[in-house]
Structure 1
Amino acid sequence: MRTNDRLRAARLDRGWLSQEKAAEEISTAGRLALGDAYFTVSVRTYRRWESDRPGWPRPDTAAALRAAFGLSPEHLGFTPPPGHPARLRPAEEGSSMERRSFLAAGSVAALSIVSPADLRPRDIDPALVGYFYQQLDGHYAADMMLGPRDLIGTVAEQYRLISHLSRAANGPVREELLQVGVTYAVLAAWLHQDAGLWDSTAYWHGIAQSDAQMTGNADLTAYAVSNMARLRIDLADGRAAVDLCRGGLGEGHRLSDRIRVNILNQQAHGHSLLGERAAVDRTLDEASRTVVTVDPSVPWGAAHRNSYFFEVQRATCYGRMGLQAEARRIWDRINANMPPAARRDTGVYLARQAAAYAATGEPEHAVTLAAESAEIAAQTRSARHRKELETLRESMSRWRDDPIGDRLVKALGPLAA
């Protein structure tokens, strides 16, 4: 039996393994978004949606689907009726040029012009804030498994919804929606950065920074700054990264330990680009001590409580500074114990481990690691990951005319596909 693969994929992306769970979650999202305590999507209705003839949802149901998935019905596999405006919108599939345009359009659409009716003050259920934070956790987990491109449209659309709701809300609910909106804008910036869409990345950082300023929250403003520093690091501008982090830390006692850890981490990478090992070690040591006192109630910024996080940062910094023998010992420990859910990150770390082995005179082992890394890169489509492997290819150019060079070309074959 044929199915609506788009809706099924979106359901599984949310972690809803059964159709019953999806119907329940869409009902909850619809009640919150519509302000209708009796809104319900039956399991029978949802099953029809996942069939090959899902039809077109009613306006209230379409709003519930948009709230639950962050995507419009046509992008969830529903068929617009003749004459419906959705038929005039570009499809998500198409040529590679259309696909790139769709990804970049997520930025422009995020702050699309709304009608005056959308801006009229109205009661917004405070429970929506918790709902969006719950969705955000799911996006973080999906990013680790899928890479950026499958999530860009979803996150941009959800930011658009949050932004519209915050414009209509009043009082504490407006402030809380602005705050959760900052976290979505930061995630959107990261996804665009990981996909190599640099102009869109800068655009989203601008949104995050301006929204953070509106909240007046020192933590959020510093969090946005730390993520701007991450962009500078990917652009190899260590001095700018260090200066941005120094400015973020200037808030001093007003910052939570969680955000302080974020900034210290990025500052360490900035120092590594400048070749300042002592500063790298000092900053990472301070961050690892600070994380012990992180307040779990702060909903933004990574807690970095996993056992390998700071070792990853140290190994990355050491490799960047040419200390590959030390980096290699750390990567050996890390990659032997990476969790299966962190697939995208595992691929990046394998590429860095391979570079360390090549630099220390073991190209055979480097090629083996590169092959495993390239398979993951082909699946997650992370531009950052591909860049790591291209850097590895360049660093192994001295073996180009040897059998090892031929093996490396074969190992990196999935990148061409």
Structure 2
Amino acid sequence: MIRGREWTGFEAVALQEAMRKSVRDFAAMLGIDTTTIANWRSGLSTVTPRTRMQEILDTTLAQRATPEDKDRFDQIVAEGETVWRRRHQRPDASKVPRLESPQRPNAAAYPPAAVASTVEAGIGCGEDRVQEVDEVNRREFGGTLLGLTALAATSSDAQAHVAPELVDYFRSQLAGHYSADRFLGPTQLIPAAVPQYELLCELANAASGNLRSDFWSLATGYAAFLGWLYQDAGDLRRSTYWHDQMLERAHRSQDPQLVGFALHNKAMLEADKRDGRSVLDLTGAALQQRTHLIPKVEVLLLQQAAHGTSLIGGDNAADECGRLLDEAAVSLEAVDDEYPWGACRSPRYIDVQQATIWTRLGLAREAIALWEQIIPDIPASQSRDRGVFTTRHAQALAAAGEPEQALATVAAIPPLVVRTGSARMRTELFALQKRMQPWSRDSAGRALDELLSSFT
């Protein structure tokens, strides 16, 4: 091995960029995990690679970098960390592009650069490769985790002691994220959750026994949360990735409740794709173990099975959906656990599912009456949920032949979509536009088209 300079995380990422390699490709070249590079990018000059990695970096620069690569490397290093950080900082939120139309269902509905650039990379743990983005800016949040990252790195090297107290720390963090999700959105929460997930994977790999299972359980919860955030943002490709991670981590945790929760989340994603049969496949698989499931998981699976049934439709769909929701309501009364996920105790939870299903099945008058009871009970601070439910209420009004009332109901929703980046609201608005087609040439239809023109 060739020995030369004393490398820091900043110089290591400077070499990556000089060689024009993605995180995944650079990690493969060095024979390391992508999480190591993510830590370099987070810590920059505060991180010092280990001796073995110093040698690998020396050899890579000396033997694998081209003369042009070396020139670019020298220039990046000469410019310094401050210039590098400025070049990779998040752009002014006022300059981000507008939301995409539903004809691009995989396009991000939040400002993409606020979370990451469009360069694909891998950010994972162990041998996993996370289909994430190359330029995630974790500087602000990552700095608060440097001490924990150092603990994880030390434990990973020596399979040494991992503090059990970290389980409670991350459990409280995850509960806080789920609570904050009612008030914030994907743009704000994804950059905070990703580095915590990565660190949890490192801690799980370093731990053993029950503590290892505890960390994998928490990693499952974080992966589920990230899958939901990307789903809410309309990025179904990345959401699918995180849901797959969630299911794999759930099996590692050896917790049947987490496996059931993971299958529910996968089913919820399929419902967003309007694939009712896949929803029933997944919920049916989980409910086969119903005698071993806690009430919360039962509730989540039963209500999702009702959504799957309504997507398939049929003469008896309304009755079957009602039966499933009645069973869910009974189980809801018994929910009493400490899991931070699965907010089925939120206001009017079963009623929301019922009203959504009635709207989908064309039972407009029943849906309108229920939405009018539900929406006043949703706190104004929970703006994304309130916006989604209000738009579904408008869909029921349109289905009942009340286009003017439907238009008035959603007048304040488009600015809320822009502010929160919620693709759920955007999707519901375009579903309303479809229901308003009979009045497309009337004043209400034209007004709605104008209202939605900024999204197309």
Contact preservation (8 Å) 1:136, 1:184: yes
* Alignment partner, residue 395 of structure 1: 435
The equivalent residue for 1:319 is 359
Matches of residues 16-95 of structure 1 in structure 2 within 5 Å?
Answer: 59=46, 83-84=80-81, 87=84, 90-93=88-91
Q: TM-score, normalised by structure 2?
A: 0.69
Tell me: CA distance 1:107–1:135, structure 2 relative to 1, closer, same or farther (3 Å): farther
Does residue 108 in structure 1 map to residue 122 in structure 2? yes
User: In the alignment, which of 387, 404, 408 is matched to residue 444 of structure 2?
Assistant: 404
TM-score after normalising by structure 1: 0.75
Partner letter of residue 391 of structure 1?
A
Q: Hey, what's the Cα distance between the residues in 1 that align with 2:118 and 2:213? A: 28
Moved more, 379-388 or 135-144: 135-144
What is the aligned partner in structure 2 of residue 119 from structure 1?
Answer: 156
Q: Determine the C-alpha separation between the residues in 1 that align with 2:381 and 2:333.
A: 24
Aligned alpha-carbon RMSD (Å): 2.9
Structure 2 CA distance for aligned equivalents of residues 184 and 107 of structure 1? 19
Give the CA deviation at 1:406: 3.2
Give the partner amino acid of 1:290. Answer: S
Q: Secondary structure at the match of 2:186?
A: coil
Whether the 8 Å contact between 2:175 and 2:341 is mirrored in structure 1 is no
Compare CA radii of gyration and give the structure with the larger one.
2
Moved more, 96-105 or 303-312: 96-105
Deviation of residue 82 (structure 1)? 5.4
Partner of 1:287: 328
- Contact kept? 1:106, 1:156, Cα under 8 Å: no
Q: Which residues of structure 1 form unaligned runs of 5+? A: 1-55, 61-79
By relative contact order (CA 8 Å, sep 6+), the higher-ranking structure is 2
Cα deviations by residue, 1:351-371 (Å, 9 ceiling, x for unpaired): 000111111121111111111
**Matched residues in 1 for 2:427 and 2:350: separation?**
22
Aligned counterparts of 2:83 and 2:290: Cα–Cα separation in 1: 50
In the other structure, the counterpart of 1:29 is: none
Cα contact 1:219–1:256 (8 A) shared by 2 = yes
User: Tell me, what secondary structure is at the counterpart of 1:230?
Assistant: helix
Cα gap change, 1:355 to 1:134, in 2 (>3 Å): same
| 1:351 and 2:391 are equivalent in the alignment | yes
1:370 and 1:412 in contact (8 A); partners too: no
Aligned to 2:182: 144
Per-residue deviation, 1:380: 0.9
**Distance of 2:389 and 2:160 partners within structure 1:** 48
Deviation at 1:126, TM superposition (A): 1.6
Contact 1:260 1:287 in 2 (8 A): yes
Q: Give matches, 1:8-407, under 5 Å.
A: 59=46, 83-84=80-81, 87=84, 90-93=88-91, 99=113, 102=116, 108-111=122-125, 119-120=156-157, 121-275=159-313, 276-297=317-338, 299-407=339-447
Matched-pair contact (CA < 8 Å) for 2:178–2:341: no
Contact 1:291–1:303 (CA under 8 A) maintained in structure 2? no
Q: How many residues align?
A: 341
Equivalent residues of 1:315, 1:331 under 8 A apart: yes
Letter in 1 for 2:156: L
Q: Flag the 1:278–1:402 CA change in 2: closer, same or farther, 3 A.
A: same
CA distance in 1, matches of 2:283, 2:121: 25
CA distance in 2, matches of 1:107, 1:295: 40
C-alpha separation between the residues in 1 aligned to 2:182 and 2:431?
Answer: 22
The amino acid across from 1:293 in the alignment is: A
> Can you list the C-alpha shifts for 1:91-136, whole angstroms capped at 9, x where unaligned?
3338759628827779832448799866221222222111212112
The alignment-based identity, stated in percent, is: 33
Structure 2 unaligned blocks of 5 or more: 1-42, 48-76, 98-110, 129-151
- Structure 2 counterpart of 1:347, one-letter code: G
- Equivalents in 2 of 1:244, 1:304: separation in Å? 19
**1:347-397 deviations in Å (ceiling 9; x for gaps):** 000100011111112111111111122232121111121010011112112
User: Contact between 1:145 and 1:380, CA under 8 Å: does it hold in 2?
Assistant: no
SS in structure 2 of the partner of residue 339 of structure 1: coil
Tell whether the 8 Å contact from 1:328 to 1:357 is kept in structure 2 after alignment: yes
SS for the counterpart of 1:285 is helix
**Could you tell me which amino acid in structure 2 is paired with residue 395 of structure 1?**
R
Query: Structure 2 vs 1, CA of residues 306 and 189 (structure 1 numbering), >3 Å: closer, same or farther?
Result: closer
Aligned in 2, Cα 1:352/1:409: closer, same or farther, shift over 3 Å?
same
Aligned to 2:105: none
Structure-2 change in CA distance of 1:308 and 1:370 (3 Å): same
1:133 corresponds to which letter in structure 2? Answer: R
SS where residue 188 of structure 2 aligns?
Answer: coil
Q: Distance in 2 between matches of 1:326 and 1:104?
A: 44
Post-superposition offset of 1:157: 1.7
Deviations 1:176-213 (A, max 9, x none): 11101100000111111111111111111111111111
2:18 alignment partner in structure 1 = none
| Cα separation, 1, equivalents of 2:263 and 2:197 | 19
Q: Secondary structure at the match of 1:165?
A: helix
Change (3 A) 1:360 1:135: same
Distance 1:105 1:337 in 2: 42
